[in-house]
Amino acid sequence: MGRRRRRRAPASDHRPVLEFARGLGYRFQDLGLLQEALTHGSYRNDHAVADYERLEFVGDAALGLVVTESMHFQRPRWDGQRRQETKSELVSNQSLAAAARALSLEEGIRVGRGRNAGEEVRSSDRILANVFEAVLGAAYLDGGMPAARGVLGAAFRKKLQRLRLKPPEGVPGWVRRAGAGLRSIGPLGIRIARRLLSLRKRVERAVGYTFASPGILAAALDAGDAGRHRTPGGRRGRKRRTRGRRAPSPPSPEPSRGGGFANRPALRFLGRDVMHLVLAEALHEHFPEWDEGRMTLARMRLQSREFTRTLNEHWDLGDGDDAGGAAEAVMGALYLDGGLEAARRALGRPFATALEELRDPDLELLDPKTLLQNRLAQAGKDTPRYETRRAPRNSRGDGTVSVTLRLADGLTETGVGRGLKEAEKDAARRTLERLERRSGRRRSRTRRGSAADSPGAAAGTSPAAAAGTSPAVVAATENPKGDLQEALVKKEGRLPVYRLISESGPEHEKTFVIEVLAGRRALGRGVGPSKRKAEAEAAAAALASGI
């Protein structure tokens, strides 16, 4: 008998995942990860599978580190502004969507049923950008940084050439062998070198890692104030006047090759993305039930000033105004010398404590300032105004900042902190407490005046609901964007569209207002510190209104 002919699979609107594994610049060991990365949320309507959102969270972090390390080694003389501008151009939605099309990823996306759903998904730059990040995250989880570099190099080859960058190849071998030989620097230089050596040994014991290239750690610990080091007596050393010769300079931690890669600003720029990826990877592993929104909030909490202070205590780096910068620079040095494994090991103990705190189901992940903005937006009220004034320095020399928060209804509150962000958050926290007390008094009067309590005044109501926020906004464990998409596809056969209404605030702390629409019909608005968070809040508002 002849061999029985295999039954042909039914036609599909997406190409098999195996076809993409051959053209991504990396050969996947686990094709299930790639298939998850190519699964849109609407596909879950009829199939019990995971979509790309959690992998997108990891891919976003991997993308940032691959781009940053490429600039770190290939363009060491670029300043921070040039690096940030180049990075922003590479990771924009339009750039990532073009990269997805270059790899033909739009042909492999699994989309749920619905009229024109597949066309809308595959033509959306935002969705294609998310899919590319998910594929990058899948590659990283499957094969580490070499896999992520391979995917990015295959997708961005032409664009990297235009930006005068080569495809990323990882850490050059000579970096790990680079030393920091001392030159003839005179008595002052010797004192500085001894001080750095003592600090380096103390930090190595704290992070649990011995550097093969001590000069890299010395650069991370050098805050650029070599000429102002304190003498053993406690007073700042005066600059010696020299006739006919230059004043002695501190030992240079830079290797003899590579230009200016070993300086603190560059290490800090790199270390920020190293910490971002290590935290994203750990959250993805330890909290498999969390959606992308909650993981993002948790990562923001772990990269806040409070967490960097904890790192500084564990690593014995001090607690000055540049506490966050010191921790980030050390993370960059650890990555250069020992890779991600050294960075993971150093974060182990402080991160273990933070993970236990994150397991608390009642923990509020939103910072007070963002939470206040969201609650006011849901109530249809104007955003708060912050008036800043710097308090005089005290005897210890650490000046504080005082901020007055004003609401449109006349309520004012004052917050104090060692920096502007800390003071604004303190003012927002105090304002939230006053709003909750005010709301509690209103509920109490309602109970006394009416036998039928409203749902908002019922016993057991959460503080968020008491402040006028819908439960969908506060419950970060839910997936409002996915739920809205599912409901809208079932009801109208279309996907929601998100539109940016406004963008305000300084570069380091922006506030986005985004509106979600079904065709031309507005469904809701959201406010957040990132576009993704604002989109989630807009989707939650649309769900709360019953779409």
Question: With pLDDT > 70 as the criterion, what percentage of the chain qualifies?
Answer: 71
Q: How far is CA 488 from the centre of its chain?
A: 29
Is residue 379 scored above 90 in pLDDT? no
Q: Give the Cβ contact number of residue 206 at 10 Å.
A: 18
Domains 17-162 and 186-233+252-358 share a fold: yes
pLDDT at residue 274 in the model = 95
Q: Where are the domains of the chain?
A: 17-162, 186-233+252-358, 366-447+458-470, 478-547
- 387 in catalytic set: no
> What tokens appear for 78 in the block?
């670029």
pLDDT at residue 194 in the model = 59
pLDDT at residue 395 in the model = 43
Structure confidence by residue, pLDDT tens digits, 22-77: 778 788 889 899 999 999 888 877 788 889 999 999 999 999 999 999 999 888 88
Strand partners for 512: 503, 528
Q: What's the whole-number mean pLDDT along residues 150-167?
A: 82
From residue 47, alpha-carbon distances to 42, 111, 296 in Å are: 9, 11, 26
Lowest-confidence pick of 7-21, 173-187, 196-210, 300-314: 173-187
pLDDT at residue 478 in the model = 55
3-state SS string for 408-472: CCCCEEEEEECCHHHHHHHHHHHHHHHHHHHHHHHHHHHHHHCCCCCHHHCCCCCHHHHCCCCHH
- The class level of CATH for 478-547 reads alpha beta
Residue scoring higher pLDDT (99 or 481): 99
Lowest-confidence pick of 247-251, 288-292, 395-399, 497-501: 247-251
Q: What confidence category does residue 244 fall into, taking pLDDT thresholds of 50, 70 and 90? A: very low
**Spatial distance between the Cα atoms of 280 and 61, rounded to a whole number of angstroms:** 7
Q: Which CATH architecture has domain 186-233+252-358?
A: Orthogonal Bundle (1.10)
- What is the CATH number that goes with domain 17-162? 1.10.1520.10
Torsion (CA) 420, 424, 427, 433 in degrees, nearest 10: -140
SS3 assignment, position 433: helix
pLDDT at residue 178 in the model = 45
pLDDT at residue 366 in the model = 74
**Spatial distance between the Cα atoms of 529 and 272, rounded to a whole number of angstroms:** 18
Structure confidence by residue, pLDDT tens digits, 439-454: 776 666 655 554 444 4
Is residue 177 scored above 50 in pLDDT? no
Is residue 225 scored above 50 in pLDDT? no
pLDDT at residue 144 in the model = 94
- 60 in catalytic set: yes
- The class level of CATH for 366-447+458-470 reads alpha beta
Strand partners for 540: none
Q: What confidence category does residue 339 fall into, taking pLDDT thresholds of 50, 70 and 90? A: very high
pLDDT at residue 229 in the model = 34
Angle of the 323-358 helix axis to the 264-286 helix axis, nearest 10: 10
Which of 372, 288, 292 is closest to 536 using CA atoms? Answer: 292
Q: What's the whole-number mean pLDDT along residues 418-432?
A: 86
pLDDT at residue 485 in the model = 77
Length of the chain: 547
Lowest-confidence pick of 149-158, 287-296, 309-318, 529-538: 309-318
Which of these is catalytic: 56, 69, 106, 133? 133
SS3 assignment, position 498: strand
CA angle 541, 546, 547 (to 5 degrees): 80
Which of these is catalytic: 56, 60, 273, 281? 60
**What's the whole-number average pLDDT of the chain?**
75
pLDDT at residue 180 in the model = 41
Q: What confidence category does residue 332 fall into, taking pLDDT thresholds of 50, 70 and 90? A: very high
